[in-house]
Amino acid sequence: MSFLRNKIDQIKKPFAKGEKWAKFAPAVNAFDTFMFVPNHTTQKGAHIRDAVDLKRTMVTVIIALIPALIYGIYNTGYQYYIQTGEVFTFLDAFIHGSYKIVPMIIVSYVVGLTIEFIFAIYRGHEVNEGYLVTGLLIPMIMPVDIPLWMVGISTAFAVLIAKEAFGGTGMNILNPALTARAFAFFAYPTYMSGNKVWVSEASNVDAISGETILGSLAAGNDVSYSMMEMFNGSIPGSIAETSALWVGVGALILIFTGVGSWRIMIGGILGAALMGFLFNLWGANALMSFPWMNHLVVGGFAFGIVFMATDPVSAAQTNRGKWIYGILVGIFCILIRVFNPAYPEGVMLAILLMNVFAPTIDHYVVESNISKRKKRWSSAQLKTA
Amino acid sequence: MSKDIRIPRGSKLNLDGEANKILVELPRPKTFVLKPDDFFNITPKLIVKEGEPVKKGSPLFFSKQNPRIHFVSPVSGEVSAIIRGAKRKILQVLITADESDEAISYDVPDFESLDAETIKEIILKSGSWPFIKQRPYNIIAQPEDTPKSIFISTYSTAPLDVDYEFLLKNNKRDFQRGISVLKKLTSGNVNLTFDESFKGFFGGVKDAELIGVSGKHPAGNAGVQIHRIDPINYGDRVWVIEPEDVVNIGILFSTGQFSSQRTIAVVGSSVAKPQYYKTTIGAALKPYLEASGITHEEEVRVINGDVLSGTTSSEEGYTGYYNNLVSVIPEGNLYRMFGWLPFVDNHIPSISKTSLSWLFGSKKAKVTTNLNGEERALVVTGEMEKVFPMNIFPMQLVKACIAEDIERMEALGIYEVVPEDFGLIDYASTSKIEAQDIIKKGIALMIKEVG
């Protein structure tokens, strides 16, 4: 280990302060701190620090994403083979899915991290680890057949406009991964909606029709999947969103480690269940009478509420605010699903909308604390006067 | 009705090296130091020159902000050096002690017959006034004020903190006298807080409101207790005094002499025999560290105070003015390969569940000064609230301090906090935010702009 350490120190020499390549230090540091937790000691404030840091937090999110990702890869192959009618094994399905999805992940990471490194060098700060999660989320919420260059452009747009334009990690208003999806959705609608994009090779092979459940409901067709299939995720949809089961495993990891906010997740489920239940009572069309329990397991709702709505930067930041934010995401998700004729999936737009309103929610929560304090001051003054 | 309070949230850090209940007295060290930096926001004006003989209780410097507040020599001897830093800032007034131990004596009548102004005058004149600190801001109290209450916290929750019941066992009468003196200075109560599960002799103290406290750190911080018991409003003054300084004031009113008694506990995983020592404010630390068996296997950091909010000293350093605790822990200037992976290096204690260290909760942890990461943008939310048991939004307050938005700092409760209340926030922060430093700067700004 000390050999490796010495080697790295040697490589880093020209990047030290005042040396020739000092400007590029953030890029080298990013690789160094990936290998080793640095030897920095506390200089002010508390003399001891918790073992947790941003790298550890972000990697925990990635661990939580892995079950859904693996199932998503398998399901991509499964949907393809089941529709073409070929005989297949688990491995066949997994290989087909990997062949489609791994390049998307690589494109997303390469494009996003390149921009992050450039901005870190330009601004002279260390590379933040937030993109490790964003870079994996972007391919996971895309349709499987989206061309790679679209993934690249969407990623570039999200990192540049949604994140770096606002000042980088920690400053963005919208969730970058959802912004990438929204960009792709509005820029290339034919690749992002309809009944030909949700199953691998659906646009090339006539035998395949890949309509999502929400899509067929919006079109007024019957749904041929059971609730169990929806829960397990063996249905068409964006790559990793389909399985409520494996998303739920990720949710448990996030809640147990304390990395994801259980308040937002539970608030979201409550909001969606309530809204779905109310529409069930109304029941004017197929989407309205779609059972509220099913609303929770189809489409991107589970994935969105667990992995996107809980993004701490773009969500509400106060504990009470998180409840309100979560419940409103749930409500708006079902509202948009039912009332938006063009695109039946509401969770993306619901979360982006609430991202915009999260600071407002926090504002009122904090203001109530302030006004309580001011009231206490003035009642104390009355007593002494 | 029981006045006992339970402070929710917070965290108890179970560290290695707690002091054994042994009180050791060593021969008095030769050199003593008074550091103006021990007093927040004081500009010192020197009274003595190098080479001048001083008695115990002779003023060394006074505060430019309030010339009535004197800082006096803890021992008799000679001013051997005045050490200055950049811009001639006074860093240390060094005193070489002599054997005579002469002290300045004042004629102190029975305090029962005195009014508040006379008591204040005696405390000021003797040089004991700096023992009294004021909230908001945690600065030395203004003698012109009458506080709405006085707080003395003997409930210690900071990592490895002292046991005041043990520390004050030989000073019970002086402690009681100190409390009775202080009672005359406030329009409200003298609130004495103690561990609810073990009241000890504090349960029998008169002239004070006795309040049992339970809860994890920072429940022992006076600021957290004030927030619960008698919150500070705009314009309020609350005074806070360390338990041993109550004793020092008690001794003043029985002997007529300035008392600089300080019992220190040398603790931490880098000492072989963590124990208590009876000594004096400003005493050189070296003999006490040696008597505790400081280990030199690795570089160590000596801290005046606890590991969360103390100030860095050194083996050549001196006892601080206020702290009873001297913590010695290893410097963590080592690399850890792949140490950022979740669930590895579980020997490092962590409040976060991204480590398995919670499984070893009962095992005493050895901690180092490693930052365990690098400073990053503020991303994770909600973690500050978990360790901050006040009805204040800590992250919003920290942000207001960074933005230097005075109105917002005021509205969010800057008057009710002091840096040490943010010690655990520093510790727990994923982004390695220096919250104590930010709050300290915020308070300095408030003093400058609002007063």
Tokens standing for A248?
A: 């739920």
Q: Render pLDDT for B382-434 as a digit per residue (tens, 0 to 9).
A: 889 999 999 999 999 999 999 999 999 999 999 999 999 999 999 999 999 99
Selection from B60, B87, B255, B58 nearest residue B173 by Cα: B255
Tell me the three state secondary structure of residue B335.
Answer: coil
Instruction: Tell me what the mean pLDDT of segment B196-220 comes to.
Output: 88
Q: Is residue B372 within 8 angstroms of chain A, CB to CB?
A: yes
- β-bridge mates for residue A305, sequence order: none
Q: How near does any CA of chain A get to the CA of B309, in Å?
A: 5
**CA–CA distance, B266 with B284 (Å, rounded to integer):** 13
Selection from B309, B282, B108 nearest residue B224 by Cα: B309
Contact B339 A52 (CB under 8 A): no
CATH entry 1.10.150 includes domain B29-97: no
Flag whether pLDDT at A383 surpasses 80. Answer: no
Number of helical (H) and strand (E) elements in chain A, helices listed first:
17, 1
Weakest mean pLDDT among A340-344, B64-68, B151-155: A340-344
**Is B257 within 8 Å of B103 (Cβ atoms)?**
yes
What pLDDT is stored for residue A385 in this prediction?
Answer: 52
Flag whether pLDDT at B366 surpasses 90. Answer: no
Flag whether pLDDT at B191 surpasses 60. Answer: yes
Instruction: Tell me what the mean pLDDT of segment A104-108 comes to.
Output: 95
What residues of chain B lie within 8 A of the CB of A9, using their CB? Answer: none
- β-bridge mates for residue B153, sequence order: B193
Q: Is residue B385 within 8 angstroms of chain A, CB to CB?
A: yes
CATH architecture of A55-222+231-369: Orthogonal Bundle (1.10)
Residue owning tokens 């009241």: B199
For residue A251, with 0-12 CB atoms within 10 Å meaning exposed, 13-18 middle and 19 or more buried, which class applies?
A: buried
Q: Is residue A62 within 8 angstroms of chain B, CB to CB?
A: no
- Best probe of the A interface among B379, B397, B425, B434, by most A CBs < 10 A, is B379
Contact B367 A48 (CB under 8 A): yes
- Best probe of the B interface among A7, A52, A379, by most B CBs < 10 A, is A52
Q: Domain-by-domain residue ranges, chain B?
A: 5-16+106-255, 29-97, 383-449
CA-based nearest residue in chain B for residue A127:
B376
Percent helix, percent strand, percent coil in chain B, to nearest 5? 25, 25, 50
Contact A56 B341 (CB under 8 A): yes
**Is A294 within 8 Å of A232 (Cβ atoms)?**
no
Candidates A60, A322, A376; nearest CB to B342: A60
Largest separation between any pair of C-alpha atoms in chain A: 87
What pLDDT is stored for residue A341 in this prediction?
Answer: 66
Q: Render pLDDT for A228-239 as a digit per residue (tens, 0 to 9).
A: 888 888 888 888
Q: Strands A36-37, B190-195: parallel, antiparallel or unpaired by DSSP?
A: unpaired
Q: Render pLDDT for A71-86 as a digit per residue (tens, 0 to 9).
A: 999 998 888 888 888 8
Q: Render pLDDT for A27-62 as a digit per residue (tens, 0 to 9).
A: 888 888 888 888 888 888 899 998 888 989 999 999
Candidates B327, B342, B427; nearest CB to A49: B427
**CA–CA distance, B156 with A363 (Å, rounded to integer):** 36
**Is B73 within 8 Å of B281 (Cβ atoms)?**
no
What is the phi/psi pair of residue A76, to 5°?
-60, -50
C-alpha pair distances (Å), A26 with each of A21, A178, B53: 11, 27, 56
Contact A317 B395 (CB under 8 A): yes
Instruction: Count CB atoms within 10 A of the CB of residue A364.
Output: 12
pTM of the model: 0.91
Instruction: Tell me what the mean pLDDT of segment B336-345 comes to.
Output: 81
CA-based nearest residue in chain A for residue B376:
A128
What pLDDT is stored for residue B1 in this prediction?
Answer: 40
Q: Is residue B423 within 8 angstroms of chain A, CB to CB?
A: yes
**CA–CA distance, A72 with A64 (Å, rounded to integer):** 14
What residues of chain A lie within 8 A of the CB of B350, using their CB? Answer: 50-52
Q: Domain-by-domain residue ranges, chain A?
A: 55-222+231-369
